[in-house]
Structure 1
């Protein structure tokens, strides 16, 4: 890709980001009303493709969640049952909810508005009991649909998972801002695979591929297979990322040309189900930013950190819960106890888990960490309410001199509180009275009470200009995905601390920038998140995700 093309794609991403911001005076363009009876289909199946029902997770595939940052003492072999556990713990259902005649599914990977644009495809060779080829994962049935099957061979085993986005599922509700949310959800799913793989003792890493190469591998470019007509844009799946699985006996991944050769003899099967036959809107800006941010040629290998760029493994927390339990009980909090204070030790431990380290879910990234955390502490024992900053790479604060001018009283928290780990790098920017901090966060997050009643709220700040300058428009996807990965870590670490998290996609971008003294695009806010003690609504009925499975019902 030429420097001119890189600049043009970056310009399109910048224009989209500016256009899709919410402002105090107006919100980003979206639908005027929603008809929930006409919601796009949340699940896609491939009619006519051979279906393989998968086994469910078992106790012998589990380990304590607190150990996921440590190497597995005995990594599990590649079997159909273990592959099934990987898919269930990352993309599978976690529960069914019902209230006043409505019924909906929750999944192990969180999603904006529970709309779930992410589709998953398993690429496999040499797995006993599983045909070689490309399989679509159906989370509703916990089954694999044989999309492109290949004659078996004696070649060594390898495994990969391809992720795509059905962007219309988000655009139906969120309009032009939907592209942001789809990329956050891809980040959620990538981290979900990181945790699920670690529970088995496996590793996961993103494999650099051009978007067109990935579309061909997953069959997304087979236009004749997909519904066509006036509303064909609602049916498109956007190629996102290919994740390679490392496990005992698995060979290193072949290159793009070898994958294409492997797939050339495949027999493609199945007709994808319709997502939305009668959409009421169209958002062309989403199509434009999708094209501009694709990878048009295979990118270089991902970031290889030096020892000083990785943080130490987080200290153990007190939760004895297993990985399967925490992953499957994860929910988005709907309301929080406004007087509950989080213990400082739990707060520091949670923040340690958000820094890049060798454990889950921080598999090999495409670039050095470029998303940093502004925290509004509300109720954490021993910490004054106010604004705090957690850079996720050492030395980053020196690149933002306006923060020093805007917050002259800033200080390392470890110098103020001896119980704060010195290597954490947490800075106190400004203390606030609790009511002031609550009003600020509530107003900033589109006047939502949930942002002001928990223990703390996070705004994720991305190195916007530098990332787009280095990676072109595709850097925008990388930033949002990194923010989504942080969000998934926050979800599970909150559960481990006996709390709950909520991702917040609605916020006033420029209002936050102004509050920090930022007047350019070096840093842009990408995703907000809050953590607290949930108030559980007993009126909503919860039932198990798979009635035919021996699974314990979870709240």
Structure 2
């Protein structure tokens, strides 16, 4: 597929792919706040935060993680920060001749075609039994579960990980997908591990999902007693893996961050599609790296020897898939069941002896190995967690307080018509109630409970297995009825006091006017911060031309120390899940959004007054009115049998 012109490459994240001039505009020295200037430090460079390793473990309830692995993660995170004078290491230009193939195929593996579905509920061709519910209704309650069948499995993939469109301009054509991706590079691959499904497989099986064909590639059949021994009826598993090379081709060392953003986007995309079918989703996070590798058949890849420094050359082994996680999909309302991880892990390790079908296709002729990516991936490999894991939590509604802001679109219309905005118009405004409604759906614990926000029980966060660790610092630009300025959404209220102490003493920490009582949103400072938001997001206008933008701030080093260094990628997964909500909500109300992967890390912390690495900004986002490029033509995702777009 010929590459699109550089200016027209569709963006999942807006990111500078090449190292720009080191001559950059200085950060705004102040912005108006409650009638006075909020002074910022004059020197903002990568040295503005104190060393990450100086903090002690604030919790004494868990063992300290392996110090060498923790040191590698903190080194990677610091090394891949952008600053005003230096960007993280990456290619100086894009090697279009070696752009990775965005489609993994397993050559010689049998292809099992899936069914296609209309996007519009009003289309008379739509099957009544598989019409999609309204998008916003899923946040209140899930519909009755559909039976697991070829039809429902087809719909599940069609609404989560399939192609959503082809785009074309001049001589260039490229595809878009339901799940967003940084730079539209799609490092994420998916697998289904399932009991027998009529018209798909007479035996339990492992298959790779091929989005271009909307088909399953059969990789192996598995023992018939595997699912009955460990899971109730009507359950199946979804495995997610990453090909780091696809992302590193464009973004260099920072690619590991972006791959894990995309894992989070995929988790949320799977959760939303499952919810439309009345299914629930949970991470099987007790499994370790080795178990995930065997479960998806990824142990068959040739070993990869990590060099001591970045190296360029022909390295086909660099195209291996890194197993990230596996999700169990089960009917909403299912009775409680536990997973015996030790026994499950033992059964999975026997998958090594299965007959694995198919050889992965080659993605590029030449490669660049950014060694720090692979050393960090090695450091965060999770071991098997022994013991039982409870999976079924009561569904918690996140509520619809201002239903009038939604356009009455089905879940399929929203997820399949979602696009990443490339530009914002700088004019579109939203009502204050609409802004509050979007944020209500960003809460992990939902509404209607006296509990603090902490546990992840609301859609789609309920797929995750840990308490919320990610917050949002919001730059409000164009929200009618809400003063411009800096705000903060606290997604785990156990962190509130720590956040107040860690941030600037000048901040107000007051609930804004009209804010729902159970929405933990706080006004920090008033003032026009459009230019500030732009400069913090690598001088990109898109951060200032929307209705609001934000930085996702994670409870960082204390989490790695208390829960384990393998939480590092999981923090990015959580930002990706939150990002997916921030993609879908604007499309459901008639505007757009995009993730921003390029931002100046420590200057963001300086604005908030954060020191050290107890809190770190991991992902930026912007929401507003999109500017459509009329030069680009849209084509159907699946033009028809025998037609290759």
Q: Is the 8 A contact 2:64 2:561 kept in 1?
A: no
Alignment of 1:22-37 (within 5 A): 22-37=82-97
Distance in structure 1 (CA, Å) of the matches to 2:470 and 2:79: 21
Distance in structure 2 (CA, Å) of the matches to 1:106 and 1:250: 34
* Deviation per residue, 1:169-224 (Å, 9 max, x gap): 00010000000000000000000011000000000000021001100111111135
Q: CA 1:386–1:94 in 2, change beyond 3 Å: closer, same or farther?
A: same
Q: Paired residue for 1:291?
A: 378
Q: Is the 8 A contact 1:210 1:299 kept in 2?
A: no
- 2:482 maps to 1:383: yes
Q: Is the 8 A contact 1:124 1:157 kept in 2?
A: no
Deviation at 1:65, TM superposition (A): 0.4
1:274 counterpart (356, 359, 362):
362
* Pairs aligned (count): 541
* Deviation per residue, 1:302-361 (Å, 9 max, x gap): 799999x97743434532100000000000011112121111111100000000134421
Q: Secondary structure at the match of 2:298?
A: coil
Q: Paired residue for 2:266?
A: 189
Q: CA 1:167–1:408 in 2, change beyond 3 Å: closer, same or farther?
A: closer
Alignment of 1:110-259 (within 5 A): 110-131=180-201, 132-150=204-222, 155=228, 156-208=233-285, 209-223=287-301, 231-247=315-331, 255=341, 256-257=344-345, 259=347
Q: Paired residue for 1:552?
A: none
- 2:179 maps to 1:109: yes
Q: CA 1:407–1:172 in 2, change beyond 3 Å: closer, same or farther?
A: same
Distance in structure 1 (CA, Å) of the matches to 2:601 and 2:503: 21
* Deviation per residue, 1:135-168 (Å, 9 max, x gap): 0000000000001124767955530000000000
Normalising by the residue count of structure 2, what TM-score does the alignment of the two structures yield? Answer: 0.79
Q: Paired residue for 1:553?
A: none
Q: Paired residue for 1:407?
A: 506
Q: CA 1:187–1:245 in 2, change beyond 3 Å: closer, same or farther?
A: same
- 2:466 maps to 1:367: yes
Distance in structure 1 (CA, Å) of the matches to 2:415 and 2:603: 34
**Which range moves more in the overlay, 71-80 or 159-168?**
71-80
2:399 counterpart (310, 313, 332):
313
Distance in structure 1 (CA, Å) of the matches to 2:249 and 2:333: 44
Deviation at 1:405, TM superposition (A): 4.3
Stretches of structure 2 lacking an aligned partner (at least 5 in a row)? 1-61, 119-125, 305-312, 447-456
Distance in structure 1 (CA, Å) of the matches to 2:400 and 2:602: 33
* Deviation per residue, 1:85-106 (Å, 9 max, x gap): 1112111000000112111000
Distance in structure 1 (CA, Å) of the matches to 2:503 and 2:348: 52
Q: Secondary structure at the match of 1:178?
A: helix
2:411 counterpart (323, 338, 357):
323
Normalising by the residue count of structure 1, what TM-score does the alignment of the two structures yield? Answer: 0.91
Q: Is the 8 A contact 2:143 2:277 kept in 1?
A: no
Q: Is the 8 A contact 1:372 1:392 kept in 2?
A: yes
Distance in structure 2 (CA, Å) of the matches to 1:521 and 1:407: 21
Distance in structure 1 (CA, Å) of the matches to 2:187 and 2:541: 27
Q: CA 1:84–1:295 in 2, change beyond 3 Å: closer, same or farther?
A: same
Q: Is the 8 A contact 1:133 1:266 kept in 2?
A: no
Distance in structure 1 (CA, Å) of the matches to 2:111 and 2:492: 45
Distance in structure 2 (CA, Å) of the matches to 1:265 and 1:180: 33
Stretches of structure 1 lacking an aligned partner (at least 5 in a row)? 550-555
Q: Is the 8 A contact 1:211 1:296 kept in 2?
A: yes
Q: Secondary structure at the match of 2:460?
A: coil
Q: Is the 8 A contact 2:424 2:625 kept in 1?
A: yes
Distance in structure 2 (CA, Å) of the matches to 1:292 and 1:275: 26
Deviation at 1:230, TM superposition (A): 5.3
Distance in structure 1 (CA, Å) of the matches to 2:96 and 2:334: 45
Deviation at 1:7, TM superposition (A): 2.8
Distance in structure 2 (CA, Å) of the matches to 1:301 and 1:443: 48
Q: Secondary structure at the match of 2:247?
A: helix
Distance in structure 2 (CA, Å) of the matches to 1:248 and 1:513: 40
Q: Is the 8 A contact 1:92 1:142 kept in 2?
A: yes
1:343 counterpart (431, 456, 476):
431
Q: Paired residue for 2:14?
A: none
Q: CA 1:295–1:321 in 2, change beyond 3 Å: closer, same or farther?
A: same
Q: Is the 8 A contact 1:126 1:157 kept in 2?
A: no
Q: Paired residue for 1:71?
A: 141
Report which of the two has the higher share of helix: 1
Q: Paired residue for 1:432?
A: 527
Distance in structure 1 (CA, Å) of the matches to 2:188 and 2:600: 26
Distance in structure 2 (CA, Å) of the matches to 1:398 and 1:249: 36
Q: Paired residue for 2:59?
A: none
Q: Secondary structure at the match of 1:221?
A: helix
Distance in structure 2 (CA, Å) of the matches to 1:402 and 1:265: 54
**Which range moves more in the overlay, 231-240 or 499-508?**
231-240
Q: CA 1:406–1:310 in 2, change beyond 3 Å: closer, same or farther?
A: farther
Distance in structure 1 (CA, Å) of the matches to 2:167 and 2:329: 32
Q: CA 1:212–1:523 in 2, change beyond 3 Å: closer, same or farther?
A: same
Q: Is the 8 A contact 1:161 1:242 kept in 2?
A: yes
**Which range moves more in the overlay, 215-224 or 131-140?**
215-224
Q: CA 1:310–1:157 in 2, change beyond 3 Å: closer, same or farther?
A: closer
Q: CA RMSD in A?
A: 2.8
Deviation at 1:299, TM superposition (A): 6.8
Deviation at 1:497, TM superposition (A): 1.4
- 2:481 maps to 1:393: no
